[in-house]
Amino acid sequence: MKQDNLDTRFLTKPETLARVRLSGSTVDRLEAKGLFPRRVKLGLRKVGWSLASIEAWERNRPTSSVDLSAA
């Protein structure tokens, strides 16, 4: 019997920050407000985010309301 949670890929904090192009403090703030996926503890001193949750956040991420095409 195959378990889906064993197939989950996790991104470390540096990988997550590089992918979403946000600072650590911004990710922490968004996460505290429930606007960013929750981190998962991967070890005693290591956290990560599931790739699937980051991809979903990227798809649903609000975009700027500023119209840059008029500039």
pLDDT tens digit sequence for 16-69: 999 999 999 999 999 999 999 999 998 999 999 999 999 999 999 877 666 656
| 5 confidence band (pLDDT: 50, 70, 90) | low
Contacts of residue 64, defined as CB under 8 A and 6 or more positions apart, other chains included, come to: none
pTM above 0.85, yes or no: no
pLDDT of residue 1: 46
Contact predicate 22/31, CB 8 Å: no
Angle at CA 71, nearest 5°, toward 35 and 66? 20
pLDDT of residue 70: 57
Contacts of residue 57, defined as CB under 8 A and 6 or more positions apart, other chains included, come to: 20, 36, 37
pLDDT of residue 66: 63
Distance CA 59, CA 66 (A): 19
